[in-house]
Amino acid sequence: MANRPFDMLNEALGKEILILLKGNIQISGTLKAFDVHLNLVLDNATQLENGEPKTKYGKLMVRGDSVVLISA
């Protein structure tokens, strides 16, 4: 059970997550890595619009200061 934010991210490594970014941008993908700044590396990343795939990126790094929410 995740007791701290990094515990949740560690448990989500290798699993699909959904990220909400500033500007109401939604990205889904497999969490491959993260750091203390909440920079995230995703594999098979896809931008969603109204829950539907819009743009496929493959491997993607998301800058931590643009992250609003992470759902694992």
pLDDT in tens, 34-62: 999 999 999 999 999 988 999 999 999 99
Fold classified for 5-71: SH3 type barrels. (2.30.30)
d(CA 49, CA 36): 28
d(CA 39, CA 31): 11
d(CA 60, CA 13): 15
pLDDT score recorded for residue 51:
86
Can you list the alpha helix ranges (DSSP code H) found in the chain? 5-12
Res. 5: pLDDT tops 90:
no
- Spans of all domains in the chain: 5-71
pLDDT score recorded for residue 1:
63
Cα 39 to chain centroid, rounded: 9
